Structure 1
Amino acid sequence: MIHRFLKITVILIWHLNLSAQPDKPNIVLIMADDLGFECISANGGTSYQTPNIDRLVSQGMRFENCHAQPLCTPSRVQIMTGKYNVRNYTKFGELDRGEITFGNYFKQAGYKTAIAGKWQLGKEADSPQHFGFDQSCLWQQSKPRTDDDGHDTRFSNPILEINGTVKHFGNGAYGPDIVSDFICDFIEKNKEDPFFAYYPMLLTHCPFTPTPASEDWDPESPGSLDYKGKPSYFPEMVSYMDRLVGKVVSKIEALGLSENTIILFTGDNGTDKPIVSMFRGNPYPGGKGQTTDHGTHVPLVVQWTGTIEAAKECHDLIDFSDLLPTLCEAAQIDLSADETIDGRSFLSQLLGKKASPREWIYSWYSRSGSRTNLKEFARTTEYKLYKTGGFYKVTNDVFEDHPIATDDMTEEEKDINNTLTEVLKYYDDTRE
Structure 2
Amino acid sequence: MKNALLSFLLILSVVTKIIAQEKPNIILIMADDLGYEALEAYGNDFNKTPQIDRMIAKGMKFENTHSMPLCTPSRVQLMTGKYNFRNYLGFGILDPKETTFGHLLQEEGYTTCIVGKWQLYGNEIQRKLVEGKVGSLPSEAGFDHYRLWQVNDRGSRYKDPLLDSRETGLEFFEGKYGPDLFVDYMEDFMESQGNQPFFVYYPMVLTHDPFEPVPASKAFPAYNPKTRLNDPELFPDMVTHMDHLIGRILKKVNDLGIEENTLILFIGDNGTDRDVVSSVNGELLRGNKGYTNDLGTHVPMIAYWPGKIKEGSVNNNLIDFTDFVPTLLDVAGAKKANKPFTDGISFYPQLTGNQNNKEVREWVFCHYDPNWGKFAPRTFIHDTHYKLYQNGEIYNLKQDLYEKSPLNKSELDKEGKKTIQKFEKVLRKMNTK
Which residue is 1:343 aligned to?
A: 344
What is the alpha-carbon distance in structure 2 between the residues aligned to residue 220 and residue 403 of structure 1?
47
Which residue is 1:169 aligned to?
A: 173
RMSD: 2.2
Deviation at 1:295, TM superposition (A): 0.6
What is the alpha-carbon distance in structure 2 between the residues aligned to residue 273 and residue 380 of structure 1?
24
SS for the counterpart of 1:284 is: strand
What is the alpha-carbon distance in structure 1 between the residues aligned to residue 210 and residue 83 of structure 2?
29
What is the alpha-carbon distance in structure 2 between the residues aligned to residue 394 and residue 297 of structure 1?
11
SS for the counterpart of 1:209 is: coil
Deviation at 1:20, TM superposition (A): 13
Which residue is 2:196 aligned to?
A: 193
Deviation at 1:336, TM superposition (A): 4.8
Deviation at 1:334, TM superposition (A): 3.6
Deviation at 1:219, TM superposition (A): 5.3
What is the alpha-carbon distance in structure 2 between the residues aligned to residue 185 and residue 368 of structure 1?
38
What is the alpha-carbon distance in structure 2 between the residues aligned to residue 369 and residue 101 of structure 1?
23
- Contact kept in structure 1, 2:366 and 2:380, CA below 8 Å: yes
Q: Does 1:157 align with 2:160?
A: yes
What is the alpha-carbon distance in structure 2 between the residues aligned to residue 67 and residue 248 of structure 1?
24
Which residue is 1:13 aligned to?
A: none
Which residue is 2:137 aligned to?
A: 127
Structure 2 residue ranges without an equivalent (≥5): 1-17, 123-132
Q: Of residues 388, 399, 403 in structure 2, which corresponds to 1:400?
A: 403
Which amino acid letter does the alignment assign opposite residue 166 of structure 2? N
Which residue is 2:303 aligned to?
A: 302
Structure 1 residue ranges without an equivalent (≥5): 1-18, 147-152
Superposed counterparts of 1:263-274, under 5 Å: 263-274=264-275
Change (3 A) 1:59 1:361: same
Deviation at 1:79, TM superposition (A): 0.7
Any idea what the Cα deviations from partners look like across 1:197-223, whole Å, max 9, x if unmatched?
001111000000100111111356244
- Contact kept in structure 2, 1:207 and 1:224, CA below 8 Å: no
- Contact kept in structure 1, 2:115 and 2:201, CA below 8 Å: yes
Deviation at 1:101, TM superposition (A): 0.5
What is the alpha-carbon distance in structure 2 between the residues aligned to residue 372 and residue 266 of structure 1?
23
Which residue is 1:103 aligned to?
A: 102
Change (3 A) 1:173 1:339: closer
Which amino acid letter does the alignment assign opposite residue 42 of structure 1? A
Instruction: Pick which of 412-421 and 258-267 moved more.
Output: 412-421
Deviation at 1:340, TM superposition (A): 3.7
Superposed counterparts of 1:354-369, under 5 Å: 354=355, 355-368=358-371
SS for the counterpart of 2:238 is: helix
Deviation at 1:333, TM superposition (A): 1.7
What is the alpha-carbon distance in structure 2 between the residues aligned to residue 315 and residue 222 of structure 1?
41
SS for the counterpart of 1:376 is: strand
What is the alpha-carbon distance in structure 2 between the residues aligned to residue 51 and residue 293 of structure 1?
25
Instruction: Pick which of 175-184 and 402-411 moved more.
Output: 402-411
Percentage of identical aligned residues: 43
Which residue is 1:240 aligned to?
A: 241
What is the alpha-carbon distance in structure 2 between the residues aligned to residue 224 and residue 335 of structure 1?
53
- Contact kept in structure 2, 1:27 and 1:196, CA below 8 Å: yes
Deviation at 1:99, TM superposition (A): 0.4
**Structure 2 length normalisation: TM-score?**
0.89
- Contact kept in structure 2, 1:23 and 1:331, CA below 8 Å: no
Which residue is 2:152 aligned to?
A: 142
What is the alpha-carbon distance in structure 1 between the residues aligned to residue 28 and residue 383 of structure 2?
26
Which amino acid letter does the alignment assign opposite residue 138 of structure 1? L
What is the alpha-carbon distance in structure 2 between the residues aligned to residue 48 and residue 20 of structure 1?
42
Deviation at 1:23, TM superposition (A): 4.7
- Contact kept in structure 1, 2:121 and 2:151, CA below 8 Å: yes
What is the alpha-carbon distance in structure 1 between the residues aligned to residue 216 and residue 375 of structure 2?
43
Change (3 A) 1:234 1:367: same
Which amino acid letter does the alignment assign opposite residue 191 of structure 1? G
What is the alpha-carbon distance in structure 2 between the residues aligned to residue 141 and residue 21 of structure 1?
31
The alignment of Structure 1 onto Structure 2 pairs a total of residues equal to 402
- Contact kept in structure 1, 2:291 and 2:375, CA below 8 Å: no
What is the alpha-carbon distance in structure 2 between the residues aligned to residue 338 and residue 414 of structure 1?
36
